[in-house]
Chain A
Amino acid sequence: MKRYQGVSEIELHINGRPRRVTIRPGDTLLRTLRETLGLVGTKMGCENGDCGACTVLLDGVPIKSCITLTLDAEGRDVTTIEGLSDSPIQRAFIESYGFQCGFCTPGMILNAHALLQSNPSPGAETVRSWMESNLCRCTGYEPIENAIRMAAGIDSRE
């Protein structure tokens, strides 16, 4: 059994690197990433688990970091958008114009990346069921779906 009260120092494993951070038990992973570690690619949107802008991967699984305690990430692998570099899904978002203002894009890309890791050739229904976790208020969803299909090597006319 582990007990945390007041200020504690813990080790997180973020984007393949160990990071020591000072936290309080009530801190969310979102705020620790942005405010303590400066990983501001993870966006703060609704802070209510609705919009998906704060999506990160925990052991490869997309979760909303605004409704996740930092302590939940202790001993697990955290991937933020800063942990991806020139990945197929990032290139596909650029080529398919899958973003406009870009605010939702890090969450979209991480969710789509996790989808393609678990299912390299997802059908349209699977793509939609995963991506309904993320809201976009400007580009619209078709270019985003096209980007995922492009990254999966699926002809978007299919």
Chain B
Amino acid sequence: MIAYDVVYVRADSVDEAVTAWQQAHADGLKPAYLSGGTELLTAARENRNRPDVLVDLKRIGALRSVTESEGTLRVGACVTLTEVVEDGRFGLLSRAAGGIADRSVRNSITIGGNVCGMLPYREALLPFLVADGSATVAGPDGTRSETLEQLFSKRLLLKPGELLVSLSVPSALLRAACWYRRRERDARVDYPLLTLCALAAPGGRRMAVSGAFAYPLRDRPAEAALNGNGSPGERAAAFVAGLPNAIRSDMRAGAGYRRALLLRAVEDAIIELEAGS
């Protein structure tokens, strides 16, 4: 439970939600958008996050569907991970979403909540990163759509009061050959030491990583090594060496172990994607 007096607003439209956020902010309060609420509730219970006003997005119909038109698949921000897994049109997303938490928690967690939450893993974003995804966001200045290359750097670059409306990918990449691996320290239902999503697109192989870093990462310059010469092991080593980011070390695993998991995963991904091409 949230052990203080929080205000709850159930919005029926994106405009209502943005207006409610703005009003709370203008009143000097700390508003937060609410979707599945799993992360927010556990953080609030431990006093790690104390929003004054919760603006619930879950009953906004426009955020609740997966649609495909004009060569683009759009996933509404309040679609649950279970719904994404069962939709199945974006196979890599189904696999990545299905690896998060457990099924009954996935019945609550939404794509938007996973991508915009405080936890560093945000694994549901990885398939969108490797598939040249885009995001549509709405806020006090209106609605805008941007590529994740523009809108994502360690986190979604949302302005104050903005909310995620949908994530989208080109339909042409939905069935591209893909590869997924998730490794945990102990139980499968745990935070990942490493999650890797790889996609063999017409222009070459791409990879996005979570768990190994303090944020999800796709590094396009480093990907050149994946598509160069040399054995899979040599290319994996070149790819990992080319990542400019510090590998994470914490109570679950040291950086050396995470690096070893990453190297092996990248090598295996190259081998299996090449075998399938």
Contacts and interface: CB of A to CB of B under 8 A. Distances in A.
Most buried by A among B3, B11, B37, B44: B37
A62 B10 contact: no
B169 interface: no
Given A1-B12, A61-B107, A64-B104, A49 B6 contact: no
Interface in B97-111: 101-105, 107-108
Nearest to B106: A133
Contacts of A130: 103-104
Most buried by A among B2, B9, B56, B102: B102
A52 B104 contact: yes
Classify chain B: how many residues form its interface, as a range.
20 to 34
B54 interface: yes
B1 A28 contact: yes
Given A69-B37, A133-B105, A1 B7 contact: no
A5 interface: yes
Contacts of B44: 26
A66 B189 CA distance: 18
A133 B104 contact: yes
A4 B41 contact: no
Contacts of B42: 48-49, 67
B252 interface: no
Nearest to A27: B1
Interface of B: 1-12, 16, 20, 37-38, 41-42, 44-45, 54, 56, 58, 82, 101-105, 107-108, 188-189
Closest 3 CB pairs of A and B: A26-B2, A25-B8, A133-B104
21 contacts: A1-B12, A2-B10, A3-B10, A4-B9, A25-B6, A25-B8, A27-B2, A28-B1, A31-B1, A52-B104, A63-B104, A63-B108, A66-B41, A68-B41, A69-B8, A71-B8, A71-B56, A129-B103, A130-B103, A132-B189, A133-B102
